[in-house]
Structure 1
């Protein structure tokens, strides 16, 4: 049997997914988050549910029977069949292009690399090309260094050099049948920028109880704000200029309340939190931060119920002609940079197939001082693009 390897990559810019995926996207985002936060070895997390989900859809389009059903259920895909699922993603892609403009850059790309000895099933190539705009290229995976450089160059170009060295030459072999890749890039300015002259160093209470000196940004402005007594937290949305995208910050009232907050969030829709917000004047103080995160998603996806695609019973008979395939690896890499001007975020996902073997009116000002661990999401009214938490900010 030949193994199908799916690689998921996240880079340094924001990923964007639109309305047609709202329910499924949010469900899948929270499923992933619940599992990823169990690993306490790394204080900070950032990942793109949208990138991961899209890369896995590339695999779903070539799957059948139990393999396809597990993917569809876990990814919360909406649609009666593959053609319907594909149409929904095509609609999303068309909507995403509207986010690009003078104030925001957005690019989104899928690509498939297939071993020279294999040919894609025509129906799969039509679905992936028509709906996900995934172009295909034949390569000789036996030339591991050359092909890894080729793939990494493509990812770096699509993420504006925010994601580099995604695939190592050692991860490829002559048994590799295909690599399915998604890359997303987003860069946008704040609707109300922070003044760099106000940035100052203050204490941030990290998750280990220590006070760390961190650069904080300051802004007095009107934001959408909410008090969330059921979560023992407050929330704030910071809008990106020229888009309908926001950075949502959920801040526990207790200094070390992030763990308890995340347990409660497992049953809460982030869009429900946004619906409770109202426009208020806020004294905002938050740290600058840069995060990088890389993780193998194979064990995570197995915990979520996607198991068959990794074992000998995997069925990708609608993907490649003349090969019995399974997924060998799903890898995710993400980057985000939040500073006075705005946010840069990137995401990429790959799947590899291998042989198995300012003066204010007289009104209340709400302080929102982000000086202890918090949760964040980059989202619009429909979808969650990036999700993560910060226990100790670095910049």
Structure 2
């Protein structure tokens, strides 16, 4: 009987995890469809599971209409809060167990709540147990101190990859009720690294038609590659060492074709694109880039139906006691450093030998020249860790 109950519990957990994977993909698509249209900067990079975890943390403290909006946007229909929290915790633990030291992906959340509101003890316990997150009371009138504390926490959580979340203490208002902060850290090495001596200046045509010179990495190697005539694009996957995580690039055939491509991608599953790929010998050129992107998520989430959490009708009564508590701001920041070794400060993957590169240059070769705006994702078969696009290197 005990064995049967254990098997049933395992089946229920696996079923709920599958539902969560499907919900993650759906949420990532909805989020990108809004973000890429509203952003005016030269690149966008964000982590859907990281943002989703922060919203899950908010959902733990929400009731009434506020909770229903979050539940609907996160596709959590049929899930109670305890079930949702356990699935988040189990999924994150599985990701860490699966990749070990080869790839490190982690996100951190913290809610800063004005000291006029009394935090609910049960909320703090659940947040710590399932989300490895915390909520703390602060005096927002001490904006310089809060600014420094938040940025110090960000540096610690991202191994100093991200230096600050707020550039100035002026971004913190003494009237704030609560600020939800979310940062993400990712580090991995390419399965086949690039030779640094082959990196050189090369042209890149930005979305406005201007041509820039940017450091570009070169490699002749076998990659999974696909031609996608229905999308007017080509695609390539660069694998990371010791994992099945890949850096997926989808490159429009036309220099100005990114926005048309993204409209089509908004209704596609990226795994469908991956399924069309075949191993090909490719001449690859890709810019060496540092992408640092932060965004206040309130206007973005408003378009996804999450509205009351930020307004006077917010119900966060399971987070804290007190009248009129709301989330005054929710800030997400992501950072990617694409270099010869991998992503972030990863140790070097083994580059293709120089002699082998020369020999491979003589083979019939597909060309994948990333010299104009492109879409990218860091993903495996179950998780989209990052989504983004680059419209200009500078």
TM-score (norm 2): 0.85
> Gapped runs of 5+ residues in structure 2?
1-16, 346-355
Deviation at 1:19, TM superposition (A): 6.9
8 Å CA contact 1:87, 1:131 repeated in 2: yes
The answer to whether residue 184 in structure 2 is matched with residue 153 in structure 1 is no
The answer to whether residue 306 in structure 2 is matched with residue 306 in structure 1 is yes
- Residues 153-198 of structure 1: CA deviation (Å, up to 9, x unaligned): 0111111222233234334455444443333211111110011111
8 Å CA contact 1:19, 1:383 repeated in 2: no
Q: State the structure with bigger RCO (CA 8 A, min sep 6), 1 or 2.
A: 1
Cα distance between partner residues in 2 of 1:263 and 1:275: 20
8 Å CA contact 2:184, 2:334 repeated in 1: no
Cα distance between partner residues in 1 of 2:315 and 2:196: 54
Matched residue, 2:138: 139
Deviation at 1:267, TM superposition (A): 0.9
8 Å CA contact 1:79, 1:85 repeated in 2: no
Deviation at 1:40, TM superposition (A): 6.3
Cα distance between partner residues in 2 of 1:317 and 1:45: 34
Matched residue, 1:163: 162
Runs of 4+ deviating beyond 4 Å: 99-102, 360-364
In terms of fraction of residues, the more strand-rich structure is 1
Q: Secondary structure at the match of 1:28?
A: helix
Matched residue, 1:348: none
Matched residue, 1:38: 37
Rg larger in structure: 2
In terms of fraction of residues, the more helix-rich structure is 2
8 Å CA contact 1:148, 1:169 repeated in 2: yes
Compared with structure 1, are the counterparts of its residues 312 and 117 closer, same or farther at alpha carbon in structure 2 (3 Å cutoff)? closer
Q: Structure 1 residues 206-215 or 382-391, which shifts more? A: 206-215
Matched residue, 1:83: 82
8 Å CA contact 1:24, 1:75 repeated in 2: yes
Cα distance between partner residues in 2 of 1:82 and 1:173: 31
Deviation at 1:302, TM superposition (A): 1.0
8 Å CA contact 1:58, 1:180 repeated in 2: no
- Residues 271-316 of structure 1: CA deviation (Å, up to 9, x unaligned): 2211222222222111111222222221111112111212222111
TM-score (norm 1): 0.85
Cα distance between partner residues in 2 of 1:157 and 1:237: 31
Deviation at 1:129, TM superposition (A): 1.9
- Residues 254-283 of structure 1: CA deviation (Å, up to 9, x unaligned): 222111101111111112211222222222
8 Å CA contact 1:19, 1:92 repeated in 2: no
Q: Size of the alignment, in residue pairs?
A: 365
Deviation at 1:73, TM superposition (A): 1.4
Matches within 5 A, 1:353-364: 358=356, 359-360=359-360, 364=364
- Residues 314-371 of structure 1: CA deviation (Å, up to 9, x unaligned): 11111112333222222222222111111129xxxxxxxxxxxx34599743211111
> Gapped runs of 5+ residues in structure 1?
1-17, 346-357
